[in-house]
């Protein structure tokens, strides 16, 4: 944008940085400032009038106009007038005035008339930080085909959006945006957004690049990798061969086998060293055990707060918690972060910086078990490469059901039956302590009942300093675990077959899916019960019939707002104004193609 200081100040006031963003500031209404000879009752209309008299009372001003376009008088009434309004009405002056006309037998009145300078046009009305006449002039000056072409937009998109700002009769009458214009707004919103994301992406030379292979290793596994696991591994293999440091996010559903992709990446990077950071000791421990089992050729080490100081340069694969951030790390060619959303951006960047050398950086892979809508994944590729793993190595057999108070006896019978088979039950409560606002029991209120009626009941929650130990003890010898959503991510509980989520309607569908994913990890028949006091919930009814995490992410979008990648807010944060991430995949594809962002 090539702007004068005055134009810059206006852009700042409007909070925009480009002509494209200005084009997205659309009118909330249109006013018809053309002259009509036919009077339209109950509608706002323009009159060409001479002021005949002005009378001021305590709370109003009454003006008598002679309307030349109708050939008779009209009485104008202004209620609670501001001082500046008085100056608009001078006896004997002829001008254009606009307001809503009402007529009773032989008498017409206009409420809240105001003087109009741009007569003869259909005029857009904007809600903005600028005064309306200033905004109109600014739009006319800035929103030109030439300016929008300079930002890479095509003529068909530009013409469709300019029609919204410079309307015709058809648009005024329809009161709805034409589909062509709405699609153009969606396109511009995505184009502007993804352009900014792409500008944020930085490219660095990789510390180590190498052509590697994984198929020999894959043949040593006691199972076959799924096509989507292979696809993700192939993506990573291609990344490693480039001179540029990889920045990739691998998103997989619960139980989709991301661990094997992590191990394949470490295998392919050998003989160069890899480091993996996990959010909890339990998860780090699980990954370490898997590495020892399936990657015996690499020398692995586990680093937690309890690990004694060791010379990490002796190991090929360093696995740990955020304790890694406080250790001296040797040269590392690959950095991986599991459950990346559990770490702050600062923590992820710290680990990367610890092992960077000047302008050279390690390859960087993030893993997430929170599926995102496919369309969102496509948008994210503007600033990070994305691989999706949407299938699981084996199909889980989990029955999901919404239950109410009346179903409690049946639930108890089911729990007793599962426990008799040496299976485990998880009860998720919305709060730790009693609340006057929430109509559900808290953990503290409920635990007494379960501890009295069942053996080996374990209890934990987010504030519990011993939660990791409790989860490990429960895994070995527990029957019932009472918890908050602290168990949502990570820990593998092989004997867990039933999860009961209390106050399920209060949780996002993605969280419910994560909790449901805790059961049936080893192929046992699983059960997920959503307990609610609400008699009907469309969200929960749709959830129980949907099994794919990526479909759940789309449902979540349907029922709540989507996230803002650029500002880093979470998935229930601010929403695109025009774009619907569920419906507009085709527009995302077109924007990606036009911005030359790889698919």
Burial of 436 (0-12, 13-18, 19+ CB in 10 A): exposed
pLDDT of residue 563: 42
**CB atoms inside a 10 Å sphere around CB 552:** 26
| Fold entry, domain 205-389 | Rossmann fold (3.40.50)
- What the block records as the tokens of 114 is 């105001």
Q: What is the mean pLDDT of each run of 10 residues along the chain (599 residues)?
A: 86 90 90 87 90 89 92 90 83 93 87 88 89 89 92 93 88 81 93 87 88 92 92 95 92 85 96 92 90 94 88 93 88 88 71 79 89 80 86 81 93 94 92 73 88 91 79 89 73 86 88 86 87 89 88 78 42 64 85 79
Give, for 275, the enclosing helix (H) or strand (E). Answer: strand 274-277
Which residues on adjacent β-strands are paired with residue 303?
Answer: 320
Q: Of 31, 3, 5, 30, which Cα lies nearest the Cα of 18?
A: 3
DSSP 383: T
Domain residue limits, the chain: 5-31+121-177, 34-115, 205-389, 398-546
pLDDT of residue 367: 92
What is the dihedral sign for C-alpha 592, 593, 594, 597?
Answer: positive
Whether omega before 271 lies within 30 degrees of 0, making that bond cis, reads yes
pLDDT of residue 465: 78
Under 8 Å between Cβ of 479 and 498: no
Tell me what percent of the chain is helix, strand and coil, each rounded to the nearest 5. Answer: 40, 20, 40
pLDDT of residue 570: 38
Residues, the chain: 599
pLDDT of residue 341: 65
Under 8 Å between Cβ of 138 and 10: yes
What is the dihedral sign for C-alpha 342, 345, 350, 353?
Answer: positive
Pairing of strands 363-368, 205-206: unpaired
Q: What is the CATH number of domain 398-546?
A: 3.40.50.300
Q: Of 567, 471, 464, 549, which Cα lies nearest the Cα of 200?
A: 567
pTM over 0.75: no
Under 8 Å between Cβ of 390 and 256: yes
- Whole-number Å distance between alpha carbons of 408 and 416: 12
What is the dihedral sign for C-alpha 41, 42, 43, 44?
Answer: positive
Superfamily grouping for domain 34-115? Nucleic acid-binding proteins (2.40.50.140)
- What the block records as the tokens of 128 is 């903005």
453 Cβ contact list (under 8 Å, min separation 6): none
- What the block records as the tokens of 441 is 């029991």
Q: Of 589, 561, 555, which Cα lies nearest the Cα of 576?
A: 561
pLDDT of residue 395: 73
Provide the CA 10 distance to its chain's centre, in angstroms: 30
Query: Which three-class secondary structure state does DSSP give residue 449?
Result: helix
- Whole-number Å distance between alpha carbons of 36 and 33: 9
Query: Could you give phi then psi for residue 148, rounded to 5 degrees?
Result: -70, -35
Q: Are 205-389 and 398-546 the same fold in CATH?
A: yes
Query: Which three-class secondary structure state does DSSP give residue 112?
Result: strand
Query: Which three-class secondary structure state does DSSP give residue 366?
Result: strand
């Amino acid at each position: 944008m090539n702007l004068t200081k005055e134009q810059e100040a206006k852009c700042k006031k409007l909070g925009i940085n480009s002509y494209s963003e200005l084009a997205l500031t659309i009118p909330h209404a249109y006013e018809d400032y053309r002259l009509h000879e036919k009077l339209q009752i109950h509608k706002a209309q323009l009159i060409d009038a001479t002021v005949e008299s002005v009378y001021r009372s305590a709370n109003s001003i009454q003006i008598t106009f002679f309307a030349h376009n109708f050939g008779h008088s009209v009485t104008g009434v202004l209620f609670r007038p501001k001082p500046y309004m008085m100056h608009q009405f001078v006896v004997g002056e002829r001008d254009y005035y606009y307001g809503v006309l009402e007529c009773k037998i032989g008498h017409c009145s206009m409420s809240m008339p105001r003087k109009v300078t741009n007569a003869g046009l259909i005029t857009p009305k904007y809600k903005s930080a600028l005064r309306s006449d200033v905004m109109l002039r600014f739009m006319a000056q800035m929103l030109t085909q030439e300016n929008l072409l300079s930002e890479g937009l095509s003529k068909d998109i530009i013409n469709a959006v300019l029609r919204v700002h410079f309307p015709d009769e058809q648009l005024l009458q329809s009161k709805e945006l034409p589909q062509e214009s709405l699609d153009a707004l969606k396109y511009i919103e995505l184009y502007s957004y993804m352009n900014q994301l792409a500008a944020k992406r930085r490219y660095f030379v990789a510390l180590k690049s190498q052509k590697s292979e994984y198929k020999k290793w894959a043949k040593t596994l006691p199972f076959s990798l799924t096509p989507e696991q292979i696809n993700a591994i192939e993506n990573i293999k291609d990344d490693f061969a480039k001179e540029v440091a990889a920045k990739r996010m691998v998103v997989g559903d619960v139980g989709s086998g991301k661990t094997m992709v992590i191990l394949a990446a470490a295998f392919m990077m050998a003989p160069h060293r890899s480091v993996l950071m996990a959010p909890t000791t339990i998860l780090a421990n699980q990954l370490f055990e898997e590495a020892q089992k399936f990657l015996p050729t690499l020398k692995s080490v586990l680093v937690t707060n309890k690990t004694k100081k060791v010379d990490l340069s002796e190991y090929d694969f360093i696995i740990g918690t955020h304790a890694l951030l406080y250790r001296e790390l040797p040269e590392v060619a690959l950095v991986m972060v599991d459950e990346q959303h559990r770490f702050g951006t600062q923590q992820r960047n710290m680990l990367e910086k610890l092992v960077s050398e000047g302008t050279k950086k390690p390859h960087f892979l993030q893993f997430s078990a929170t599926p995102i809508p496919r369309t969102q994944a496509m948008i994210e590729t503007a600033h990070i490469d994305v691989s999706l793993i949407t299938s699981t190595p084996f199909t889980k057999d989990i029955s999901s059901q919404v239950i109410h108070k009346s179903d409690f006896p049946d639930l108890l019978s089911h729990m007793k039956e599962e426990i008799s088979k040496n299976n485990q039950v998880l009860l998720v409560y919305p709060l730790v302590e009693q609340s006057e606002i929430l109509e559900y029991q808290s953990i503290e209120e409920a635990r007494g009942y379960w501890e009295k009626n069942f053996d080996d009941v374990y209890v934990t929650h987010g504030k519990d300093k011993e939660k990791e130990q409790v989860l490990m003890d429960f895994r070995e010898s527990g029957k019932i675990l009472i918890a908050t959503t602290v168990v949502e991510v990570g820990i593998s509980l092989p004997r867990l077959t039933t999860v009961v989520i209390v106050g399920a309607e209060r949780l996002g569908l993605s969280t419910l899916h994560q909790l449901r994913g805790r059961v049936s990890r080893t192929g046992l028949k699983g059960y997920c019960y959503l307990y609610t006091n609400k008699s009907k919930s469309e969200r929960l009814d749709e959830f129980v019939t949907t099994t794919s995490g990526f479909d759940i992410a789309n449902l979540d979008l349907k029922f709540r707002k989507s996230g803002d990648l650029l500002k880093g807010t979470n998935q229930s944060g601010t929403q695109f104004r025009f774009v619907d991430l569920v419906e507009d995949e085709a527009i995302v594809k077109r924007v990606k193609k036009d911005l030359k962002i790889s698919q």
